[in-house]
Amino acid sequence: MDIGVGLWTMRSTAARPTTFPVAYRRLIEDARAAERLGFHSLWVAEHHFWYDGWCPAPVAACAAVLGATTTLRAGTGIHLLSLWEPESAASAAETVMRLSGGRLELGVGLGYRDEEFDGFAIDRRIRGPRTDATLDSLRARWQDLGGGPPLMVAGFSEAAFRRAATRGLGIFLPFSLDGERLGRVIERYRELAAASGQQPGRIGMLKYAWATDGTAAAAEAARSAIAASMREYSGAWFPLRGRPGFESPDLLDRQLHLAADNALIGTPEAIAAELADLQRAGVDLVVLQVTRDDVAIDHRANMEALAAVVRPAVADR
Calpha distance 36→38 (Å, rounded): 5
What does pTM read for this prediction?
0.93
Say if CB 236 and CB 244 are below 8 A apart.
yes
pLDDT value of residue 236: 66
pLDDT value of residue 239: 66
CB neighbours of 128 closer than 8 A, spacing ≥ 6?
82, 110, 159, 163
pLDDT value of residue 245: 61
Buried b (16+ CB within 10 A) or exposed e, 224-256: ebbbbbbbbbbbbebebeeeebeebeeebeebb
What values do phi and psi take at 205, rounded to 5? -155, 140
One-letter amino acid of 183: G
Domains of the chain with CATH codes: 2-209+266-315 (3.20.20.30)
pLDDT value of residue 139: 94
Residue spans of the chain under pLDDT 50: none
pLDDT value of residue 149: 96
pLDDT value of residue 235: 64
pLDDT value of residue 305: 94
